[in-house]
Structure 1
């Protein structure tokens, strides 16, 4: 995150709205729980911790509720160094970029004190060295899906793959995060408005036709080395992108970060990954068995969601060119200002 990671919370399978007459019954007050996400790495800071809350209804969680404001958040190491994080946005706490930097072998602990006096502390996480990424590359991947007509059709995706070498002298746990930036070309001069009768009429816009769109993958992607201990891991898929004109009319930048995480962090993310890979129904149980490493100091039985981790990082990046796969994705048809696309900017990235 910058480092911000979103936790998967299951929504209620129903909404209560539009009641004609109030119902006369007593409902149990839902339990409110703290949600914490944060990580320190051996990359330069700042490091970010997000604090939110959620409500528990029986075995299910509601959507994330408002951010937790005005908390005291600190990260400390085994040498007694402690840094205080500043709230930069509601519920988002950051270190000063020069205040602390994670180091291999360092042991880090997160502490949170809320306005009501409750204090939470994470288990200590040791920062492990990340294995270098040997190679990151892309392959065109046909995937069979069921379309809106309930027909099976084959669509193309671009699979982002990683090769790395496991050291073999200990158990190792991996997590991958994928970020991408791509250039879009749109047609604001073809924008259509409506007249006073509601009929479409040409309403060309002066700006803008060239933008760069940045995205961050929210896919949970973790693995342990039981099946390849001490050997090469080849072709680990970390993400896939639809092979559509929006993404591949122009060149496309890909960055993959490989994290050396702890066994506890692996178990946490693997539990979430397994749940997401289930039916996807809102009737799925909430991720209560994704064991957090954060506890209420005065009441260890209180359930807290999320995880604070320390991890070494290695990364590689590359460009995908429009004709790398021997076929052209086509022209992106978008008759509007490209700046309205989520994550878009007209500022050319420094790495472009």
Structure 2
């Protein structure tokens, strides 16, 4: 589940579906070699390619993410860097080659009109800047039956303890689907949650600027001056050094400070599942799979939200891989648990089979169903409503109000608004002043990303 750092930097690594889970777990999988376990004393020297790619048959962006997961040579703490400038291709039926283009660092997207088709084979291959070549095994996209029904219910113990500071309330979602007879079928379930977002930008040690700030232009030794060119980003001037200041330049305070800005237009936060959920029809072949629990949605706020339930097909090999990963990452961690063993994926270095490559490339048909979660049956206070330092004992008295609930749930702090003018008298004043441009404080744009969208999700009801 995505969580934000205590102050102003947002994390970009979220534990979600396999698409997000692979990055979050990559450092844990450094212990999993292609054949043998690794020498733990060498962890600080490891650098591992992490591949996150799943083609679907839906009309949605088809993306491949490449990262290099590495650990600090001194502390051994994990880190991750996007792999940029790679040549990324998908080979269709061993004949046609579709090239992906890099949309942001480490993220490669196939043409917008591309989507997979059942019965066809897809193979991922990519070449790094240094010429190192990698490829996956061919993956045939298998059909998946439709989701027939979705039901939800509130439970005060829906979430595992420790997931959200021991907060456990949420909604459990269940589905029905008809398993096809005569064939073995393997499933994976994921979900996306769309929450209405009203806070679009946080600026640490700076302020949001709609227009670009003119370099070297100041007013009254107090103001930076706005130009006319569109900027739409945080303006972060360097803090003023002690006893050193450019003539006429406003003083910029040191320390930790920042402001949060409302969205200028509609915006939705996108949250994804935080665990793997795979299933084989060994005991239900050809029967109705009923009341299968596929999602636990945290009770973030009292506002309704939209849940997209995704049911995907897996190959037998893909199922075995994700089942092992599920068992190794979601067990209880007790002394009787089997320790992690070698877990090879389906991607290899063409010239060096022993190189560790984390990830499994899949081609999966998907049945997607929107479910409107109105939360009317919820009891008690949502996760985003109660501050940890509150002294109230009434479980029905919130200490966080309205549009701050989701912000607090994701950031674990309250939003800090930039003080508005007039800057006179005892009123609070901003750390940095801007002259010209839109009125202060401005609103911020909702930037389309993997975790946020300005486009109304299909199935949103208000």
Secondary structure of the structure 1 residue equivalent to 2:319: helix
TM-score normalised by length of structure 1: 0.74
Secondary structure of the structure 1 residue equivalent to 2:19: coil
Shift of 1:46: 2.6
CA distance in structure 2 between the aligned counterparts of 1:313 and 1:168, rounded to whole angstroms = 19
Shift of 1:230: 1.0
Q: 1:132 to 1:90 in 2, by over 3 A?
A: same
**Alignment gaps of 5+ in structure 2:** 1-15, 30-40, 200-259, 383-395, 411-450
Q: Is the 8 A contact 2:71 2:79 kept in 1?
A: no
TM-score normalised by length of structure 2: 0.58
Residue in 1 that maps onto 2:185: 172
Residue in 2 that maps onto 1:314: 367
* Aligned residues: CA RMSD: 4.0
Q: 1:242 to 1:47 in 2, by over 3 A?
A: closer
CA distance in structure 2 between the aligned counterparts of 1:134 and 1:40, rounded to whole angstroms = 23
CA distance in structure 2 between the aligned counterparts of 1:64 and 1:241, rounded to whole angstroms = 28
Secondary structure of the structure 1 residue equivalent to 2:157: strand
CA distance in structure 2 between the aligned counterparts of 1:56 and 1:42, rounded to whole angstroms = 36
Shift of 1:273: 1.0
CA distance in structure 1 between the aligned counterparts of 2:26 and 2:315, rounded to whole angstroms = 23
Q: How does 1:1-352 map to 2 (within 5 A)?
A: 4-7=19-22, 8-10=25-27, 30-55=45-70, 63-78=78-93, 80-98=95-113, 100-143=114-157, 156-183=169-196, 212-243=268-299, 246-247=300-301, 249-279=302-332, 289-324=342-377, 333-334=399-400, 338=404, 340=407, 342=410, 349=457, 351-352=460-461
Q: How many residues align?
A: 310
Shift of 1:287: 6.0
Query: 1 or 2, which has the higher strand percentage?
Result: 1
Q: Is the 8 A contact 1:219 1:239 kept in 2?
A: no
Q: 1:156 to 1:229 in 2, by over 3 A?
A: same
Secondary structure of the structure 2 residue equivalent to 1:220: coil
**Alignment gaps of 5+ in structure 1:** 13-25, 187-204
Q: Tell me whether 87-96 or 44-53 shows the greater mean CA deviation.
A: 44-53
Q: Is the 8 A contact 1:104 1:312 kept in 2?
A: yes
Shift of 1:129: 0.7
Shift of 1:286: 8.9
Q: Is the 8 A contact 2:154 2:377 kept in 1?
A: no
Q: 1:73 to 1:286 in 2, by over 3 A?
A: farther
Secondary structure of the structure 2 residue equivalent to 1:269: helix
Q: Is the 8 A contact 1:161 1:237 kept in 2?
A: yes
CA distance in structure 2 between the aligned counterparts of 1:168 and 1:132, rounded to whole angstroms = 14
CA distance in structure 1 between the aligned counterparts of 2:176 and 2:456, rounded to whole angstroms = 30
Q: Tell me whether 108-117 or 336-345 shows the greater mean CA deviation.
A: 336-345
